[in-house]
Amino acid sequence: MNEIEIVKLAVQGDRNAFAEIVKTYQGRIYNLGLRMTGNEQDAEDILQETFLSALQNIGNFAMKSAVYTWLYRIAVNFGLKRLQLRKKQYGHIDIDDPDSEKLHLEHLHNWPDFNEKKVNDKHFREKLDEAMLELPEKYRTVFILRDLHEVSTIDTAKILNISESNTKVRLMRARNFLKDKLENLMSHEERS
Amino acid sequence: MKDERSVMFDQVCVFLGQDIDSEPCKIIQKHLQVCDNCEIFVDKIKKTVKLYQTCNDCEEVPPAKVTKNLFSVLNLDDLCPEVDDCGCDK
């Protein structure tokens, strides 16, 4: 049975079909919540809220979009609400107006490829997570959806209810911000 | 007035908001071949994205307890996956 058939059955109230949808997407929704909030308990709460909402509203799902787009939209909304509540916990850096001229003046040098040892270094990974959590949520969410979950630009725009061009700009700013963070991290490690 | 390099750099920034290997990005490939700064910049963006992707498994199954709690909240306990599927302790 393909996904469309499973979703049709779920829309009609079939519990087994809905459970199949949960099994298929629980990992992605949990990961989305974890990446958005950086907190396991929040991720679990977002996961439960998302599928509870989906269960309550599946009968109204018109199947005009893919079910994952629908689930992601619900999850992102719960994630953003949760972040709003915790906003004061994070000190965000304003990256609305990146200084592109400054980028031209960077002393550019190549990076080495990141080897397996580096990728598995716990301290290094914690620093990567910290850098991502420093991103304002509107950029972080786009980065998670586009680059980590490989959602298309058009679907990301639909999920976040923003334009495609805005999605692209936010993605660029997120990538550039993380690149700079990585640059600083590597410079710091070289010096120590 | 911006010089040619600045204009091209702006285009790189805009295009990098898309898939890096997408068709529009090919338009600037020739420039990147002769502009060291842009080439290094793009390489770093690619490596940054690749690094985060490597460190993130978005299809990773949640901890068994999380799955169990989820199916319980949904009143789907009887349909919770077996241990082999998700580590769920039925």
Contact (CB<8Å) B76/A27: no
Q: Does the predicted TM-score (pTM) go above 0.90? A: no
Contact (CB<8Å) B14/A110: no
Burial class (CB in 10 A: 0-12, 13-18, 19+), A133: middle
Query: Within chain A, where are the H helices?
Result: 3-11, 15-37, 40-57, 67-85, 100-104, 116-119, 122-134, 137-143, 153-160, 164-191
Which of A61, A88, A115 terminates a domain? The answer is A88
Distance from CA of A42 to the nearest CA of B (A): 12
CA dihedral sign of residues A136, B51, A119, A40:
positive
Q: Are A114 and A144 members of one domain?
A: yes
Q: Are A74 and A113 members of one domain?
A: no
Mutate to test the interface with B, among A44, A124, A146 (most CBs of B within 10 A): A44
Domain boundaries, chain B: 4-54, 60-90
Query: A75 is written with which tokens?
Result: 């999850």
Give the A:B interface size as CB pairs under 8 Å: 129
- pLDDT tens-place string over residues A84-101: 887 755 455 455 544 444
User: With contact defined as beta carbons under 8 Å apart, do B68 and B89 qualify?
Assistant: yes
Instruction: Single out the residue of B45, B66, B74 nearest to residue A110, CA to CA.
Output: B45
Q: Are A175 and A152 members of one domain?
A: yes
CATH number of the domain encompassing residue A107: 1.10.10.10
Distance from CA of A122 to the nearest CA of B (A): 11
Quote the mean pLDDT of chain A.
Answer: 87
Contacts of A122 in chain B (CB under 8 A): none
- Per the document, the length of chain B is 90
- pLDDT tens-place string over residues A104-120: 445 556 777 777 777 78
